[in-house]
Amino acid sequence: MSKTVSALQVLVFRLEDKQYCIDIAHIDEIVDRHELTKLPDSKPHVEGVMDLRGTTTTIVNPKTVLGLSGSGTGNRVIVFETEDERSIGWVIDEVNQVISLDDVEVDESVESQSVHGVIRQDGEFIIWVKPSAINV
């Protein structure tokens, strides 16, 4: 089942050799990855914490949640706005671009706990991820 989406912008990023996207309304900023401090007894997808201008930011590896091999942990972090004012970031391999989804068809037949659907662009798939399913 497909649905046409209008007036929405998403950030396209890369994990390994695949493209993913998230609604930019959820993003606070994109920063370089700094040294991480590991947290004992944390969930498998939590890489650790990092200091982001005096704020302790929990860094999550979305590859673990999405079932990717996790090799080659990236050097960029997408920092999210959260309702409970925690600072959470995803470590990613590369930021590609922001695209507008004006009148773009999203295939929702693949929707799952962590995926809204799939977008086709230039003969490739972009997997639209739900941030709430990956954050701690």
pLDDT digit string, tens, across residues 52-95: 999 999 999 999 888 887 655 689 999 997 777 788 999 999 99
- pLDDT (mean) for 39-56: 92
DSSP secondary structure string for all residues of 21-50: EEEGGGEEEEEE----B--TT--TTEEEEE
* 126 alpha-carbon distance from chain centroid: 12
pLDDT tier, 127 (very low <50, low <70, confident <90, very high otherwise): very high
In order of their start, the domains of the chain are 2-134 (2.40.50.180)
| pLDDT (0 to 100) of residue 50 | 95
Average pLDDT of the chain? 87
pTM assigned to the model: 0.86
Q: End-to-end CA distance of the chain: give it in Å, rounded.
A: 30
DSSP 8-state symbol, 73: -
CA distances from 60 to 25, 33, 102, 129 (A): 19, 12, 30, 14
- pLDDT (mean) for 1-29: 86
| pLDDT (0 to 100) of residue 72 | 56
The pLDDT > 90 percentage for the chain reads: 46
